[in-house]
Structure formats: structure tokens, C-alpha cells
Amino acid sequence: MKRLSFVMMLLVSVIITVSAQTSQLATLLHDGNMSVFYGSTALKEAHEAAVAGDVITLSAGQFNACTITKPLTIRGAGMGLTQVENFVDPTVITGDFIIDIPENETYHLILEGLQHNTVMGFTSAYNVQFIKCILGELDIRQNATVKNFQLVNSDVRKYIRNYESSSSAVITIDAVNSCIKFASQYLNYITLNAQNSILELQGSLSNSLLNNCILTGSSSTIKLNTNCTAFYCVWYGQGVTNPFPYETASGTNTRLDHENVFKEGTFYELTDELKALKTTDGTQVGIYGGNMPFDPTTTVPQISKFSVSPRTSADGKLSIDIEVEGIKQ
């Protein structure tokens, strides 16, 4: 791991109400200039000051949620997944919030290395990407547009729940090496493209393309509808006798009656039996196969430690020492 530290000099007026003992820090990078915000409201304050394309970096700790209305990059210290080695303290966003991002040809909303355990609502979500995040419930609101929405190496712990009942709704979701639970509400209006993911269904999927995925259902009637395509996927537990449609490459898929598909005490690591199953690319089904095997380690340097000088310099500036931990080489 590479480490570096640097000192930033900021005007006192920027941090006049800040306590040097605070444990939460957010930096905002705009046009090569950095601003710093402190405390549980740091994310909200950084978001208010940001413009499209800016980068907000959060330290480990808890930050109050805020409505996200700008296509930014928001990076945390990590999702805090305890079932893997090299655990790092997570960046936790607390409280429900809304994502309302209009279509933007230039910038996308990217969130990485965050944990959120309650409800995140979507009213407009164009080009939104979650990378290495733990998420609670994702609610697609009525009259919402969700387009080019992507989950990479992420875990939706509760549900993706769709309240948009119009058959003309535009809801497209890509899942790459992620774990997702889907609620039953209007699930057939979601178009899913999933690669090496684990999917738990409360309703039947439609209009979806699945490769090297592991699926399970919550009742004996759940299956993939005939307008789905599945290649080298595994269905286990409940579900109809043949949950895969005959019309779409069902001969490459596997139906298991038992439920011991994952090794006990691991984060969805497969049993040796399932690791031996054939796939489209010669790796394994599930989140540890494919081109982007699951790894909770963030892809960018993160704030690991910081300290604030207890007093300003003679010219009215404040010294802040920030230690940044680099990515693995």
C-alpha cells in the first residue's frame, strides 16, 4: 500500500465553526482546487458547493444523507464488508434520501465505497453507477426514469422495489458481479442485464439477459419469463421445476434442489461442486467469476487519517494534515 501525506492551507472563514476533534471529513475537488468540510453534515455541505463533474471524497465515519441532484463522483473509504480480509472502517450514509439526476451528456453520478442501510429513492436517475457499495432498499418512485443504472461489485441487502406501474416506463439496470434482491412490485417492467451476479427474486423476471448468474426465488411459482435469455446460470431452492425458458438457451443452465451452494461463513463463495460448472468464459458462476471478480477494495486512494491544527498561523490560515492510502498495485 502506498501512503502519502500533504498539508493544505485553508482560510479561517471556511471552517469558522469547525471543531478540530471531529471525526468526519469531506473534500471537494473542483477545477484542481480543494475545499474541506467537517462533521456529520459534511456531505450535504460539499454537495451544496459542488457543480457537475466535481469529486467529493469522504473519510470513514457516518455522514447525514442529502438529496443528490448533481452528477458528481462521491467516494467513501469502503463498504465495511466484514466477511473478507483487509477490513477497513466504512463510510456510512445515514438516513433516507433521494437521487434526482437529470440527463447529462457529459457527467455521470458515480458512488463508490459507501454503505447505506435504509431507503434510497429514485425520481430521475440517468447514468448512475454504484461501485463497491452496500445498499439498503432502492425505491424506484412513480413516474421515475431509471436509465443506464449500474451496480458493480455491490450488495443490495434489502430490495430494489419498483413503484412505476406504467408499461412505457424506462427502467434499465445493469448488474456486474453484484448481489441483488428484487421485490415483486412491477418487476416485469424492469429490463435487467446481469453478469456474474446473485439474484433473489420475489417475482418473475422479464425482458432480461443473464450470464453466469445464480438465482433463487421466494415461492414455487417464480421463474424467468419467455422473453428472458439465460446462459450458464444456476437456479437453486424454490421455483418451478424448470425456471429457465426453453426458448432461450435453457440447455446451458442448471437447476439445483439443494440450498448449500455457498460455503458457510463466507461472502457468497461457491462450493467446489458449483465452481466446477461450465460458464461462458471458463471462470465460475457467481460474483467471483467473470472479468470483474468481486473485491470490496476501492479503486481509488482514500482518506485514512487526518488531523487539524488547534490554532491558525499568523496570517490567518489553518494547517490540515491528511494521510491518503493508495490503491493496491
Residue-wise pLDDT tens digits, 236-256: 988 788 899 877 667 899 998
The pLDDT of residue 21 is above 50: no
Give the pLDDT confidence score for residue 82 in this predicted structure.
Answer: 73
If you average pLDDT over residues 42-51, what whole number do you get?
A: 97
Is 102 part of any domain?
yes
Question: Taking all residues of the chain, what is their mean pLDDT, rounded to a whole number?
Answer: 85
Quote the cell numbers at residue 316. Answer: 490567518
Give the pLDDT confidence score for residue 19 in this predicted structure.
Answer: 40
Which residue would you say has higher pLDDT here, 17 or 286?
Answer: 286
Contacts of residue 105, Cβ cutoff 8 Å, sequence gap at least 6: none
The pLDDT of residue 72 is above 90: yes
**Would you place residue 113 in the very low, low, confident or very high pLDDT band (cuts 50, 70, 90)?**
very high
Q: How many domains does the chain have?
A: 1
pTM of the predicted model as reported, rounded to 2 decimal places:
0.85
**Would you place residue 67 in the very low, low, confident or very high pLDDT band (cuts 50, 70, 90)?**
very high
Within 10 angstroms of residue 246's Cβ, the number of other Cβ atoms is 9
The span from the CA of 124 to the CA of 22, in Å, is 34
What does the DSSP assignment read for 176-208?
Answer: ES-EEEE-STTGGG-EEEEES-EEEESS-B-S-
Give the pLDDT confidence score for residue 88 in this predicted structure.
Answer: 76
User: Smallest Cα–Cα separation from 58: which of 302, 299, 295?
Assistant: 302
The pLDDT of residue 146 is above 70: yes
Is 254 part of any domain?
yes
For residues 6 and 36, the answer to whether their CB atoms sit within 8 Å is no
Amino acid at residue number 99:
I
CA dihedral 153, 188, 191, 55 (to 10 degrees): -50
Quote the cell numbers at residue 111. Answer: 458512488
Is 170 part of any domain?
yes
Is 313 part of any domain?
no
Is 10 part of any domain?
no
The pLDDT of residue 20 is above 50: no
Give the pLDDT confidence score for residue 279 in this predicted structure.
Answer: 94
Provide the 3-class DSSP secondary structure of residue 320: strand
Residue whose entry in the numeric block shows the C-alpha cell 424467468? 224
Provide the 3-class DSSP secondary structure of residue 45: helix
Residue whose entry in the numeric block shows the C-alpha cell 434520501? 97
The span from the CA of 276 to the CA of 160, in Å, is 31
Domain that holds residue 283: 65-298
Is 136 part of any domain?
yes
Dihedrals φ, ψ of 320, to 5°? -125, 125
Give the pLDDT confidence score for residue 241 in this predicted structure.
Answer: 83
Which residue would you say has higher pLDDT here, 21 or 92?
Answer: 92
Residue whose entry in the numeric block shows the C-alpha cell 428484487? 182
If you average pLDDT over residues 37-58, what whole number do you get?
A: 96
Which residue would you say has higher pLDDT here, 3 or 151?
Answer: 151
For residues 200 and 216, the answer to whether their CB atoms sit within 8 Å is yes
The pLDDT of residue 4 is above 50: no
If you average pLDDT over residues 309-327, what whole number do you get?
A: 56
Give the pLDDT confidence score for residue 17 in this predicted structure.
Answer: 34
The span from the CA of 144 to the CA of 120, in Å, is 13
Residue 40 CB burial class (10 angstroms; 0-12, 13-18, ≥19): middle
Contacts of residue 252, Cβ cutoff 8 Å, sequence gap at least 6: 230, 231, 232, 233, 278
Is 137 part of any domain?
yes
Is 60 part of any domain?
no
